[in-house]
Amino acid sequence: MTQIDYTQMVLTYHKSRVKKRALDLVVGVPLLLVSLPVQALVVILVRLSSKGPILHRATRVGLEGHQFTMFKFRTMRIGMAGTLVTASGDPRITRIGHHLRSLKLDELPQLFQVVSGTMSLVGRRPEDPQHIVHYTLEQTKVFAVPPSLTGPAVVVDEEKVLSGCTSEEIESTYIRDFVPAKVQTNLDYLENWTLRTDLNILFETAVSLIPGLDIKWKKSGVTKQLDAHERSLPLGLPFAPQQDYGTLNANVQMFGALEFPEQ
pLDDT at 212: 62
pLDDT at 15: 63
Q: Closest by alpha carbon to 140, among 4, 259, 17?
A: 4
Give me the amino acid identity at 111.
L
Q: Residue 127: beta bridge partners?
A: 61
pLDDT at 58: 94
Per-residue pLDDT tens digits for 204-239: 888 877 766 654 444 444 445 445 544 443 333 333
pTM of the predicted protein model: 0.76
pLDDT at 24: 95
pLDDT at 241: 34
The radius of gyration of the chain from alpha carbons, rounded to an integer in Å, stands at: 18
Q: What is the 3-state secondary structure (H, E, C) of the chain?
A: CCCCCCHHHHHHHHHHHHHHHHHHHHHHHHHHHHHHHHHHHHHHHHHHHCCCCCEEEEEEECHHHCEEEEEEECCECCCCCCCCCCCCCCCCECHHHHHHHHCCHHHCCHHHHHHHCCCEEECECCECHHHHHHCCCHHHHHHHCCEEEECCCCCCCHHHHHCCCCHHHHHHHHHHHHHHHHHHHHHHHHHCCCHHHHHHHHHHHHHHCCCCCCCCCCCCHHHHHHHHHHHHCCCCCCCCCCCCHHHHHHHCCCCCCCCCCCC
pLDDT at 113: 97
On the 0-12 / 13-18 / 19+ scale of CB atoms within 10 A, 82 is middle
pLDDT at 81: 77
Segments of the chain with pLDDT less than 50: 1-6, 215-223, 225-226, 229-263
Asked if 103 contacts 45 with a C-beta cutoff of 8 angstroms, the reply is no
